[in-house]
Amino acid sequence: MPEFDYLIVGCGLTGATLAERIATVLDRKVLIIDRRPHIGGNAHDFHDNAGILVSTYGAHIFHTNAERVWTYINRFADFNDYVHTVDAVVGGSTYSLPLNLDTINSFFRVHLTPEQVPGFLAKRRIPIDLPANAEESVLSQVGWELYEAFYKNYTWKQWGIDPRFLDASVTSRLPIRTTADRRYFADRWQGIPRGGYTALVQKMLHHAKIEVILNMDYRQALADVRFGRLVFTGPIDLYFDFLHGKLPYRSIDFRFETLDREYYQHTAVINYPNDHDYTRCVEYKYLNQQHHARTTVSRDYPCWNDDEPYYPVPASANRLIFQRYRAEADRLSSVHFCGRLGSYQYLNMDQCIAQGLDVFERELA
């Protein structure tokens, strides 16, 4: 049987970062596996039949304020200068997200200055000193009108749960601006790797000490592969055979459509908080700055699908279950849990990479 110093389960950004660091810095043999037929995890992208570069699992925009992460990832890709903007269709009108000066002025049909916005919102917000859930988080900042127009139904669709039963972090992730800054992310660095994320991960894994096997379940690897230490980026409850119950993960059904027109919409992402069963429509040519006579879009239909766990559901009851699994994990000296599913937390791409670097430096180096 083959022998490796490390077995890494999951070939997303966290797993790829750890594989690269172990091979490059420690000069150890690494086997990285994935149950899917491709590398890159949820960031995987490919050229569709029309020749348009699309993302298998929806839009992914790299953004970060962490210089360490930006310096690291630029070893493997050259990023374009794409700046992410998002619009939302509400009541037949289009507004910019996150909420900003232009959104507030357009929605309320007023002409506020940046200095006037805080006072204007103060008259509408609900005085809640310590918001306990996703609904209260928004109400405490902007009140009922903006909450019901932009947040309530979108959150319901995205998570399949009443916002009152979700952590405040769900809606507080999106800033509320008093200026006309319509950038979705205010991070110092952002963009899309030229050539795509799959090419980026391929370069990360291009090392003589790294072997990749796809279409392999981790149980098969545990039975067939000899290894020293294990890095597990899959669902932590799955690893422990649901000893403390199943952790819920939200999924998305991505439905693609290629159109015989140059563009379908005026920006890369348009959200639909209140209309349709889908939450957003993504047009990929904007992201990858690709010139093509045709265009491909995808629509996000949130769903429950045990076979495709994408998003840990941020609620207090789930956090308690995870803590029981975390206690089990802490007893295992040769197994390391990380990534979005392994740590049961919503992580942006830069946070996935940062976590990989941290686990390497703290536990493996």
Please tell me whether residue 74 adopts helix, strand or coil conformation.
Answer: coil
Would you say 225 and 32 are in contact if contact means Cβ atoms under 8 Å apart? no
The Cα–Cα gap between 129 and 92 comes to: 34
**H/E segment holding residue 303:** strand 295-304
Q: How confident is the model at residue 4, as a pLDDT?
A: 96
The Cα–Cα gap between 328 and 243 comes to: 10
**Of the candidates 103, 150, 94, the residue with the CA atom closest to the CA atom of residue 267:** 94
Q: How confident is the model at residue 2 (pLDDT cuts 50, 70, 90)?
A: low
Q: Which letter, b or e, does each residue of 44-53 get, where b requires 16 or more Cβ atoms within 10 Å of its Cβ? A: bbeeeeeebb
Identify the residue whose tokens are 């006072």.
Answer: 119
**Domains detected in the chain:** 3-82+190-247+310-364 (3.40.50.720), 86-172 (no CATH)
Residues 6+ apart with CB under 8 A from 122: none
Question: Residue 344 region, left (φ>0) first, then alpha (ψ -120 to 50), else beta?
Answer: left
Q: Please measure the distance between the N-terminal and C-terminal CA atoms of the chain and give it in whole angstroms.
A: 26
Please tell me whether residue 248 adopts helix, strand or coil conformation.
Answer: coil
| Bridge pairing between strands 189-191 and 62-64 | antiparallel
By CB neighbour count within 10 A (0-12 exposed, 13-18 middle, 19+ buried), where does 334 fall?
A: exposed
Indicate if the pLDDT at residue 232 is higher than 90.
yes
Residues 6+ apart with CB under 8 A from 238: none
In the numeric block, which tokens belong to residue 261? Answer: 């027109």
pLDDT tens-digit profile of 129-175?
Answer: 899 999 999 999 999 999 999 999 999 999 999 999 999 999 988 89
Helices 13-21 and 197-204, packing angle to 10 deg: 20
**H/E segment holding residue 326:** helix 316-330
In the numeric block, which tokens belong to residue 46? Answer: 């490919």
**Of the candidates 305, 306, 252, 304, the residue with the CA atom closest to the CA atom of residue 280:** 252
pLDDT tens-digit profile of 49-77?
Answer: 999 999 999 999 999 999 999 999 999 99
Q: How confident is the model at residue 365, as a pLDDT?
A: 81
pLDDT tens-digit profile of 89-101?
Answer: 999 999 999 999 9
Torsion angles phi and psi, residue 96, rounded to 5: -85, 140
The Cα–Cα gap between 266 and 204 comes to: 34
Torsion angles phi and psi, residue 234, rounded to 5: -85, -175
Residues 6+ apart with CB under 8 A from 323: none
Indicate if the pLDDT at residue 1 is higher than 80.
no
Would you say 230 and 223 are in contact if contact means Cβ atoms under 8 Å apart? no
> If you average pLDDT over every residue of the chain, what do you get?
96
Q: How confident is the model at residue 173, as a pLDDT?
A: 85
Q: What is the mean pLDDT of residues 117-130?
A: 95
pLDDT tens-digit profile of 192-217?
Answer: 999 999 999 999 999 999 999 999 99
Q: Which letter, b or e, does each residue of 187-223 get, where b requires 16 or more Cβ atoms within 10 Å of its Cβ? A: bebbbbbebbbbbbbbbbbeeebbbbeeebebeebee
pLDDT tens-digit profile of 286-333?
Answer: 999 999 999 999 999 999 998 999 999 999 999 999 999 999 999 999
Please tell me whether residue 64 adopts helix, strand or coil conformation.
Answer: strand
Indicate if the pLDDT at residue 11 is higher than 80.
yes
